[in-house]
Amino acid sequence: MTYSCGGSRSISLHSLFIRRTEPRRAVSILPNPLAATLVLGGARSGKSRHALALAEERGARGLFIATAEPFDAEMRGRIDAHRLERSEGWRTLECPLHLHEALATLPPPPGTDTDVVLIDCLTVWLGNLMHHEQDVHDAADRLLEALQRCPVPVVLVSNEVGSGLVPDTPTGRRFRDEQGRLNQRLAARCERVDLVVAGLPLTIRPAAAIA
């Protein structure tokens, strides 16, 4: 199942004013590049299709980690339509919140039956975190740690949301800002970054560009 990032989810105003009551936990995120590709793009840009093609180049045994939930008929229809795009070699794991735990389940080679992981998408994942009033910065730390330890290549899909109109609500503006910060953190670490516009991919960082 390939989930579109166009779904919506209500977020309580209370989540905008959560203050950290405990110190940030210690993290062990290294500066070395991740064996990961970040695919960015707007809604209906073709980013999911491009990400799938990149992932299938890396092997026939894929794990698709779905962050969206089929909470209405429209989303279920999107899920059903995108499921047909993937070959039979793909397994699906639904994971709306704890991506780091999903990645931690993969055994290292040669014990793994997975050649590549495709996560689609981080925008829906961020919305889920905000909806459930989770600490998005801590979740991003945990995701980066898990990507650092992942034994197989990972392709991540995320929306580029900063090129449109300024959202007219505090919730929308916070979501836009958090998405931009998340994209920057991942782009700084992923060995390859692509931007998809109108179905055409542009490689912003080739795989060998990180020193």
Q: What is the mean pLDDT of residues 104-109?
A: 87
Domain assignment present for 46: yes
pLDDT score, position 17: 34
How would you classify residue 48: left for phi > 0, otherwise alpha for psi between -120 and 50, otherwise beta?
Answer: alpha
Count how many domains the chain has: 1
In the sheet that holds 190-197, the strands lie side by side as 90-94, 62-66, 116-120, 154-159, 34-41, 190-197, 200-205
Domain assignment present for 100: yes
What is the residue range of 173's domain?
A: 37-205
Domain assignment present for 167: yes
The mean predicted confidence, pLDDT, of the chain is 84
Residue owning tokens 């709306």: 96
Cis ω for the linkage preceding 153 (within 30 of 0): no
187-155-203-125 Cα dihedral, nearest 10 degrees:
-50
Domain assignment present for 20: no
Q: What is the pLDDT of residues 138-175, one digit of tens each?
A: 999 999 999 999 999 999 999 999 888 899 999 999 99
Q: Which of 14, 82, 132, 137 is catalytic?
A: 82
Predicted TM-score (pTM) of the model is 0.81
Note whether 9 and 133 are within 8 A (CB): no
CATH number of residue 161's parent domain: 3.40.50.300
Domain assignment present for 184: yes
Among this protein's residues, is 132 annotated catalytic? no
pLDDT score, position 15: 40
- Tokens for 40? 């960015």
Q: Which residues, at least 6 apart from 108, have a Cβ–Cβ distance to it below 8 Å? A: 151
Domain assignment present for 166: yes
Domain assignment present for 79: yes
pLDDT score, position 30: 53
Q: Where are the beta strands (DSSP E) in 42-129?
A: 62-66, 90-94, 116-120
Domain assignment present for 26: no
Which has more pLDDT, 72 or 200?
200
Q: What is the mean pLDDT of residues 39-56?
A: 96
